[in-house]
Structure 1
Amino acid sequence: MNSDFRIIIQRIEKYFTRRRDTEYYLQVVNDQYDETYNFFINIRPRNQRMHSIPLHTVENYRLSYLEKLINKIMEQYQFSITYDGFVGLRWPMNQELIQKRRHKDE
C-alpha cells in the first residue's frame, strides 16, 4: 500500500495548487474488466471547463485494500471523492454503500 499511497500523494501535491475559485476533488473508478481502481484529480476553475488528470492505477483489486488506501489519503487531504462503478458495493469495515446510484454518464 505504501507505494500506491506515495505515488498518489506525490501526484496530488503536483496538481493541487490551491488556486482561488477553483474546485478540486478526487474520482475513483472501478474498472471491472481490468480489475483495477483508477484515481483521478478533477480541477474546475470557476466559469471554466473541468480538467480530469489521471493520478494512478491501483492493481490490488480488493475493496479492503482500497478502503485503507482512501482512509490514508483522507488523513492527509480532505478532498471530496466521487466513486464510479461501485453501485451496490459496500465498504468491508463499516458496511456503508460506496455509491448509492449510477451517475448519468455511467
Structure 2
Amino acid sequence: MNALFKRVSQTHYWIEVANDKYDKQFNFFFNSQHRKQRLRSIPLHSLNNYDLNYLEKIIKEFKLHSNLTINFVGFTDLKWPKSNQLIQRKRDLLE
C-alpha cells in the first residue's frame, strides 16, 4: 500500500473494504482519484477468515498505522461485535 500512496496534490486516497457474502471473504482495495480523472481501484488483499471479530481487530490495527479513510461496502445493517456500532453508515447503491 505504501508504494501506491504517492501524495499527489488534488488526489483523494482511501481504502475500501468489501463484504463478499458469496465467497465468504473480505476484500481490500486501495482507491485513488485525481481531480477530474477516473477512479483507480487496486486490489490489495482478501481475508478468507470471514469473521467480524477478526476484521474488527485488523481495522483497528490498520488505523494505528494509517490516516487513510476506510469505506465499507456490503456491510449494511451489520454492527461491530465489540462496540455494537454500525459498520456502514449509508446504504449501498445496488441494494
TM-score, normalised with respect to structure 1? 0.85
TM superposition outliers: structure 1 runs of 4+ over 2 Å: none
Same amino acid, percent of matched pairs: 42
- 1:51-62 pair list within 5 angstroms: 51-62=40-51
Deviation at 1:57, TM superposition (A): 0.5
Deviation at 1:102, TM superposition (A): 1.7
Matched with 1:99 is 88
Contact kept, 8 Å, 2:74 with 2:92, in 1: the verdict is: no
Structure 2 gap ranges (5+): none
The structure with more helix, counted as a fraction of residues: 1
Contact kept, 8 Å, 2:76 with 2:92, in 1: the verdict is: no
Distance 2:69 2:11 in 1: 13
TM-score, normalised with respect to structure 2? 0.94
Query: Which amino acid is 1:85 matched to?
Result: G
The answer on 1:49 being equivalent to 2:24 is: no
Structure 1 gap ranges (5+): 1-11
